[in-house]
Structure 1
Amino acid sequence: MNMRTLLAAPAILALAACAPSLADDVDLENVAPDDIAWIGESPVYPNATIAQNISSAQVFSKLAALVERTDLAATLDGAGPLTIFAPTDAALTDLPPHTDEALRHTLAYHVIEGRIDAGELAARIVEGGGSYQAQTLSGDTLTFRVDGDGIVIVDGAGGTARVTMADLNQANGMMHVIDKVLLPAQ
C-alpha cells in the first residue's frame, strides 16, 4: 500500500460517515482517491448513481429536493446511461414557479440519454459546424456551442448556461455542473 492510499483512507472513511445514506448504498472504501471529484466540499463518487450523488452533495440540496418531489429520482437512479447538466443551488434561484408536472418536465430537460463527456460534446459541436442539438428526456432540444474555453448550452427559452465543471463520472452516466437553470420553450 502506498503512502497516498494510506493518507486518503481516513478521509474516505470520514466522508462515508458524513453521508450515511450514500455509504449504505455505495462501496466507498474501494474508490481510488483520484477518482473522487469535488464540488466545493462535497465529494462526487464515480461508483454512485446520478441520484445518489445529487442527494449527497450540499451544492445540489435544492436540486435533490426537486428531483424527489417530481419522482425523477428513480430515473436518475436507474441503469442509464444518462448525462445530466446539473444546476447548482445558486443556479436554481432563477427557477420560476412551476406546477409539479411542469417542474418534472423542466428537470427532465436537463438530462439526455447516453454517457457524453465534454470531449465528445466538443467533437459533436465541431461536426455540426459550430453547434450540436440533443433531445432531452423531456422531448425538447438543447443546443450546445463552444464559447471561449468552455461549452455553453442554449435552452428553448433563449437563455444560456455555461458548463462550470465537466466530466463527473457516475455509475450510470455522466454529470456536468452548470451555472444557470435550463428552461424549455413555452
Structure 2
Amino acid sequence: MKKLTIALASAASLAIVACAEPAEEENTMADETSMEDDAMANEGPGTIVDVASGNGDFSTLVTAVTAAELGETLSGEGPFTVFAPTNAAFDALPDGTVDTLVNEDTETLSSILTYHVVEGNLMAADVMSAIEGAGEEGYTVNTVGGGTFTASVVDGNVVLTDATGGTATVTDTDIEASNGVIHVIDTVLMPQ
C-alpha cells in the first residue's frame, strides 16, 4: 500500500511538473510529498488498541475492551502481550454471552479480558523458547488479571490451556504495536 501511495504521489508529481509553469511550484510539491512520506515512515504501528481497532477481525474484542473500560490501560506504556481472540472466537461462545458481558456484567468481562494480557513483550520466539524450556508440562503464563494458563506445542501449533481446561490455538503471531505485541487466538480463554 505504501509503495502504491508513493508511486501515485510520484506520478502526480511528474504530471504537475510537466504542466507547471514556475519552477518554484515543482520544488514545493516535491518537498511536501517527501515530508508526507517521511512522516508516514516514522509513525510506525499504533498502540495495541489502535492496531486492534484497525483490524476488522477484532471488532468484538475492541467493543469488549471499550465496555470494560480497558482501552486507556491497553493504550498505556506497556509493554503488553495480548492473546487476542477473533470475532469468530467470540461468536463461538454461547448465544447472548457477549451481549450480557458487554451490557450487564463488565466486571466479569474485565476479568476475562485481562486473562488474555501478559506483562512484557513476548514475541513468538520467546514463547517457543519458554515452552521448550518448560518440558512436557508446558509453560505457565501469568496474566495481568492474576490467573495463569499453560502454553504448549500440540501437533506443531502453540496451544493455550485455560483454567477451565479449554484450549485455544495461536493462529497468527507477532503483530507489533508501539506498546507491545498481539498474538491471534481462535478461542476465548476463561479464567475460571
What interval of TM-score do these two structures reach, taking the shorter chain for normalisation?
0.7 to 0.9
- Aligned equivalent of 1:139: 146
RMSD of equivalent CA atoms: 2.2
1:148 aligns with 2:146: no
Note the residue ranges of structure 1 that are not aligned, 5 or more in a row: 12-26, 32-44
Note the residue ranges of structure 2 that are not aligned, 5 or more in a row: 9-37
1:100 aligns with 2:109: no
Amino acid at match of 2:106: D
- Aligned equivalent of 2:59: 61
Amino acid at match of 1:114: G
Task: List 4+ stretches of structure 1 deviating above 2 A.
Answer: 4-11, 94-98
Deviations 1:78-122 (A, max 9, x none): 010000000000001134343110000000100000000111111
Shift of 1:8: 5.3
Compared CA separation, residues 113 and 10, structure 1 to 2 (3 A): farther
CA distance in 2, matches of 1:46, 1:146: 32
- Aligned equivalent of 1:30: 41
Percent same amino acid at aligned positions?
Answer: 38
Amino acid at match of 2:92: D
Amino acid at match of 1:30: A
Comparing both structures, which one devotes a greater share of its residues to helix? 2
Structure (1 or 2) with the larger CA radius of gyration: 2
Q: Given that residues 45 and 51 in structure 2 are in contact (C-alpha distance below 8 angstroms), is that contact kept between their aligned partners in structure 1?
A: no
CA distance in 1, matches of 2:7, 2:165: 46
What TM-score do the two structures reach when normalised by structure 1? 0.76
Shift of 1:10: 6.5
- Aligned equivalent of 1:7: 4
Q: Given that residues 144 and 153 in structure 1 are in contact (C-alpha distance below 8 angstroms), is that contact kept between their aligned partners in structure 2?
A: yes
CA distance in 2, matches of 1:10, 1:163: 36
Amino acid at match of 1:70: A
Aligned residues: 154
Compared CA separation, residues 28 and 149, structure 1 to 2 (3 A): farther
Compared CA separation, residues 129 and 8, structure 1 to 2 (3 A): farther
CA distance in 2, matches of 1:176, 1:60: 12
